[in-house]
């Protein structure tokens, strides 16, 4: 019975969901390789120098691609999951990667853009479809109702070893109603769309003539041409006291005081862009990548003797010893990232998520090959 209950919980709750965070934004004009030292595992970033293709797609910027060092070596100081507490081992070792150039959405896909897709195609998201008895034979009928996962602040301080205290499955939560049937996206057309699972993001990308980024493409773009810094803008968390992304400020999980400008989700493009002109490559909402997730993927590349991974697509299938559900990589963090709970807002760190599960802090952006 416990096993069946566990399977049911996995379907509806993002067991991974606060394991990482992200705060990325770059000061253009700095020497991209000035941070690389003789004792650093990070080599210089070597962007392709060919000129960008002409006729840029609307709302996209050119990412030149090239060679860079991918991964992280900085330990997380916050709680993640019991098996990976105080570690970023799934982002080790730092390794060399080459990616071809590509176009990338300047911003996360917004509610307005996703609504255009839905109106044009009649698409219905996974969160809007009630689960069936065949999928969950032990579930009581009253639980077989469409909905999704929603962060719900506690009323006071709680031990941070049980995320079920602040995550719940809410009937009627979907992209139109991100936190439940009483919520709305009216007036929030420029906010990132959320409550989208992997299939939903993939369907939108196909309609738009685009695709989801690989994990390597995403990190190359997020680094903005710089190598080896703890954060894309440097080694200081808040340069000159300035907030660089939308995270959880205050006391987690009960008091987001909005010191960074927003309590909860923010419209797209409210913080400085990175060196490639990309907004919100950290904080605000997580972003789906196309790669299957394996915590040992980087280590397996090293064991295979691969010194330069060229346009890596990720492993052939998902594997996570903590969760038997198929998972894809997520990157960038969200408005729930906080050093009280987890400090994986560091550059190069990784997230992951069950492919059939969305939440109110998970979105996506697309890329396009030339």
SS (H, E, C) 62-120: EECCEEEEECCCCCCCCCCCHHHCCCCHHHCCCEEEEECCEEEECCCCEHHHHHHHHHH
Query: Which among 265, 114, 262 has a CA at the least distance from the CA of 175?
Result: 114
- Give the whole-angstrom CA distance, residue 64 versus residue 38: 26
Cβ burial of 50 (10 Å; 0-12, 13-18, 19+) is exposed
Tens-digit pLDDT profile for the chain (370 aa)? 333 333 334 443 433 333 333 333 332 334 445 445 557 899 999 999 999 999 999 999 999 999 999 999 876 555 454 344 445 789 999 999 999 999 999 999 999 999 999 999 999 999 999 988 887 788 788 889 999 999 999 999 998 888 889 999 999 999 999 999 999 999 999 999 999 999 999 999 999 999 999 999 999 999 999 998 777 677 787 889 999 999 999 999 999 999 999 999 999 999 999 999 999 998 999 999 999 999 999 999 999 999 999 999 999 999 999 888 999 999 999 999 888 887 677 789 899 999 999 999 999 999 999 9
The residue whose two tokens read 């993939």 is 202
Q: Please give the C-alpha separations between residue 253 and each of 10, 214, 249, 346, in angstroms, as whole numbers.
A: 21, 31, 10, 20
Q: 10 Å Cβ neighbour count for 184?
A: 11
The pLDDT of residue 89: 86
User: With contact defined as beta carbons under 8 Å apart, do 149 and 359 qualify?
Assistant: yes
Its pTM stands at: 0.88
* Domains of the chain, each with CATH number or no CATH: 1-370 (3.90.1580.10)
Residue whose token pair is 């109702």: 145
- Residue 152: helix, strand or coil by DSSP? coil
> Radius of gyration (Cα) for the chain, nearest Å?
20
Q: How far apart are CA 95 and CA 342, in angstroms?
A: 24
Distance from C-alpha of 171 to C-alpha of 113, rounded to nearest angstrom? 24
Beta strands in the chain (DSSP E): 46-47, 60-63, 66-70, 95-99, 102-105, 147-151, 167-171, 250-251, 255-256, 286-292, 309-310, 327-331, 351-354, 362-363, 367-368
Supply the DSSP symbol for 13.
S
Q: Which two tokens stand for residue 226?
A: 């710089």
Residue 263 CA to residue 257 CA, distance in Å, equals 6
Residue 352 is encoded by which pair of tokens? Answer: 């992951």
Angle at 197 between CA 195 and CA 202, to 5 degrees: 125
Structure tokens at 61: 């910027």
């Amino acid at each position: 019975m416990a096993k069946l209950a566990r399977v049911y919980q996995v379907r509806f709750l993002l067991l991974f969901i606060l394991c990482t965070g992200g705060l990325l934004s770059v000061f253009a004009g700095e020497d991209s390789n000035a941070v690389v030292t003789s004792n650093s595992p990070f080599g210089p970033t070597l962007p392709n120098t060919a000129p960008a293709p002409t006729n840029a797609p609307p709302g996209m910027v050119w990412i030149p691609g090239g060679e860079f060092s991918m991964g992280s070596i900085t330990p997380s100081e916050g709680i993640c999951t019991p098996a990976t507490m105080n570690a970023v081992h799934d982002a080790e070792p730092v390794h060399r990667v080459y990616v071809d150039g590509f176009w990338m959405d300047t911003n996360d896909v917004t509610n307005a853009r996703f609504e255009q897709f839905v109106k044009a195609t009649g698409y219905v998201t996974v969160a809007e479809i009630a689960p069936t008895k065949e999928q969950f034979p032990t579930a009581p009928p009253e639980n077989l109702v469409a909905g999704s996962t929603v962060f719900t602040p506690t009323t006071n301080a709680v031990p941070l070893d049980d995320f079920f205290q602040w995550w719940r499955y809410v009937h009627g939560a979907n992209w139109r109603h991100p936190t439940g049937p009483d919520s709305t996206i009216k007036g929030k057309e420029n906010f990132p769309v959320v409550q989208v699972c992997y299939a939903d993001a993939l369907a939108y990308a196909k309609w738009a003539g685009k695709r989801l980024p690989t994990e390597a493409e995403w990190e190359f773009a997020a680094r903005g041409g710089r190598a080896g810094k703890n954060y894309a803008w440097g080694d200081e968390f808040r340069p000159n006291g300035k907030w660089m992304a939308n995270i959880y400020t205050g006391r987690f999980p009960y008091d987001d005081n909005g010191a960074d400008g927003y309590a909860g989700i923010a419209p797209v493009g409210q913080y400085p862009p990175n060196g490639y002109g990309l907004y919100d490559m950290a904080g605000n909402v997580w972003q789906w990548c196309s790669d299957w997730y394996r915590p040992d993927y980087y280590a397996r590349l090293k064991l295979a003797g691969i010194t330069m991974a060229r346009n890596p697509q990720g492993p052939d299938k998902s594997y996570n010893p903590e969760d038997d559900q198929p998972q894809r990589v997520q990157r960038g963090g969200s408005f729930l990232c906080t050093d009280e709970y987890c400090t994986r807002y560091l550059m190069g760190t990784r997230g992951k998520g069950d492919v059939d599960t969305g939440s109110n802090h998970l979105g996506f952006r697309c890329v396009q090959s030339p």
